[in-house]
Amino acid sequence: MDYTQLTPFPRGFLWGASTSAYQVEGAWNEDGKGPSVVDLHIHRAEGISDFTVAADHYHRYREDVSLFAELGLKAYRFSIAWTRIVPDGDGEVNPAGVAFYHRLIDELLSHGIEPIVTLYHFDLPAALDDRGGWSDPATIEAFARYAGILFDEYGDKVTTWLTINEQNMMILHGKAIGTTGRSGQADQRTIYQQNHHMFLAAARAMALCHEVLPGAKIGPAPNIVSVYAASPAPEDVLAADDWDAIRNLMYLDVAVRGTYHPLAWAYLTERGIAPKLREGDAETLAAGRPDFIAFNYYSTQTVGASRGDASDIQHRGGDQQIVRGEVGVYRAAKNEHLPTNAFGWEIDPVGFRTTMRRLWDRYRLPLIITENGSGAFDELVDGVVHDPYRIDYLRRHIEQIRLAISDGVDVFGYCPWSAMDLVSTHQGISKRYGFIHVDRTETDLRGLERSRKDSFHWYRGVIAVNGLDLG
């Protein structure tokens, strides 16, 4: 629907930006930090930067936070590295790691920037992985304990928490992201048992947060996108519904309602990969309720009915590591209405609005976008990055937030990916997302100097007028 008058962004809207610990911090083995599965990412492609130095934020966080303040951020969404706090996942607490996040949070607060903390963003402690990782229910206990440590330490400073970043992407694309650890890729039954254990861990963290920090809010942070049918053929629409349930709604139904989405459960049962539920699991899931839904949005997906053969399968933008389509469930289709970015990802701002509307319609919980952006090959020319493509992408997505707000959706914050350049999950530092350029290449660390991109100045202007003028 078109509007003659749009509803403004609410006062106090959280204009923010995002990062994750292992992609930005570096110092991967300093001050007592233990290794995580992504530090050891054994399936990383040749010639791609590892995470040992990343953007060196661990050593330069003061300079970075002062740039975030200049940018005008109201919120900064980042993750805490489990392995800095508890190096082996469930043993001794590492005081130096705890102290680092106190310094970072204090720095943010001193600039009036609200910290939004993700408990766990892909970086499971390698020591836990060695003992079975998420296959072992002991990891649920380790996570609940770790969450409790964070609530105790930072609970008087942090009021907005996120449980697990993109659990659905870890389940669907774990090998590419590097979260499957040394096992490489387990069978589907094991993967969905791990999924179930992560659901329990997140539910425990939500219940604990409410118990010990009554003033705080907590929610999940999956990757959620509208799924379109490739055509109006009823079979395509049915396949889109199925895939929506398996890819998106399973994760939100368990988090919000404490139960598996029936279609998703039917899929798991039909394939013989349904997790085993232990006594007490249903009660644990029911006891963990979110206060809001955080979600990451990059692009939509278009699917058709399965043809029952290999033609169902595609690779996103030719990326051999990201498989789409599943024989007997759905066929991956290209959406001819959407342009793609340099990495073959479809760009769909309107799909962002439909995603927000669907989430609000189904769950009626306030929404915050914790990632949104487009990877690009930036060029530093005479010390400056001109990135009109980034501005264009973000502007067109912010426009859709305002439209969704006008549609009646409760959206309270927007944290694009990423606050500053960082190392992509599996495509290196050359794939950039930040407002702040970090001078390094895949193989040459250069000086790691920071500089403001054109998008930095643009986003600063947007925040200054609370999104009323998008430039």
Minimum gap (Å) between residue 14 Cβ and ligand BG6: 18
Q: In the annotation, is 166 catalytic?
A: yes
Quote the CA–CA distance of 79 and 160 in Å, as a whole number. 12
Q: Which is nearer to ligand BG6, 367 or 403 (CB)?
A: 367
Catalytic hit among 25, 114, 166, 346: 166
Minimum gap (Å) between residue 47 Cβ and ligand BG6: 16
Quote the CA–CA distance of 226 and 145 in Å, as a whole number. 35
Q: Which is nearer to ligand BG6, 23 or 400 (CB)?
A: 23
3-state secondary structure at position 451: strand
Q: Should residue 222 be labelled a site residue for ligand BG6 when binding is judged by CB under 6 A?
A: no
Minimum gap (Å) between residue 371 Cβ and ligand BG6: 6
- What number of chain residues touch ligand BG6 (CB under 6 A)? 15
Q: Is the dihedral of CA 26, 426, 41, 50 positive or negative?
A: negative
Minimum gap (Å) between residue 171 Cβ and ligand BG6: 12
- Residues in region 22-41 near ligand BG6 by CB under 6 A: 23
Q: Which is nearer to ligand BG6, 36 or 306 (CB)?
A: 36
Residue type, 151: F
What angle, 0 to 180 degrees and rounded to 10, lies between the N-to-C axes of helices 57-71 and 95-110? 20
Q: How many CB atoms lie within 10 A of CB 102?
A: 12
- Residues in region 389-428 near ligand BG6 by CB under 6 A: 417, 424-427
Q: Which is nearer to ligand BG6, 256 or 415 (CB)?
A: 415
Quote the CA–CA distance of 362 and 372 in Å, as a whole number. 21
DSSP string, 137-201: THHHHHHHHHHHHHHHHHTTT--EEEEEETHHHHHHHHHHHTTTGGG-S--HHHHHHHHHHHHHH
Beta bridge partners of 451: 437
Q: 3-state SS of the chain: helix, strand, coil percent to 5?
A: 40, 15, 40
Catalytic hit among 25, 107, 114, 371: 371
Q: Should residue 375 be labelled a site residue for ligand BG6 when binding is judged by CB under 6 A?
A: yes
Q: What is the largest CA-CA distance in the chain?
A: 63
Minimum gap (Å) between residue 317 Cβ and ligand BG6: 11
Strands (E), 270-364: 293-296, 301-304, 314-315, 323-324, 331-333
Q: Which is nearer to ligand BG6, 247 or 426 (CB)?
A: 426
Q: Should residue 440 be labelled a site residue for ligand BG6 when binding is judged by CB under 6 A?
A: no
Minimum gap (Å) between residue 223 Cβ and ligand BG6: 6
Minimum gap (Å) between residue 20 Cβ and ligand BG6: 5
- Residues in region 296-335 near ligand BG6 by CB under 6 A: 296
Quote the CA–CA distance of 282 and 418 in Å, as a whole number. 36
Residue number with the smallest Cβ distance to ligand BG6: 424
Minimum gap (Å) between residue 25 Cβ and ligand BG6: 13
Residue type, 194: Q
Non-local CB neighbours of 341 within 8 Å, separated by 6+ positions: 347, 374, 375, 376, 389, 393
Q: Which is nearer to ligand BG6, 325 or 373 (CB)?
A: 373
User: Which of 13, 14, 16, 20 forms a contact with ligand BG6 (CB under 6 A)?
Assistant: 20
Non-local CB neighbours of 255 within 8 Å, separated by 6+ positions: 163, 199, 202, 203, 206, 219, 220, 222, 288, 290, 293
User: Which of 49, 139, 165, 299 forms a contact with ligand BG6 (CB under 6 A)?
Assistant: 165
User: Which of 64, 326, 348, 371 forms a contact with ligand BG6 (CB under 6 A)?
Assistant: 371
- What are the CA-CA distances from residue 206 to residues 64, 165, 202, 243, 252 (Å)? 30, 14, 6, 27, 14
Q: In the annotation, is 63 catalytic?
A: no
User: Which of 41, 261, 431, 440 forms a contact with ligand BG6 (CB under 6 A)?
Assistant: 431
The position carrying tokens 């309270």 is: 412
Quote the CA–CA distance of 146 and 90 in Å, as a whole number. 7
Q: Which is nearer to ligand BG6, 236 or 348 (CB)?
A: 348
Q: Which is nearer to ligand BG6, 164 or 230 (CB)?
A: 164
* Binding positions for ligand BG6, rule: CB under 6 A: 20, 23, 165-166, 169, 223, 296, 371, 375, 417, 424-427, 431
Q: Which sequence positions are flagged as catalytic?
A: 166, 371
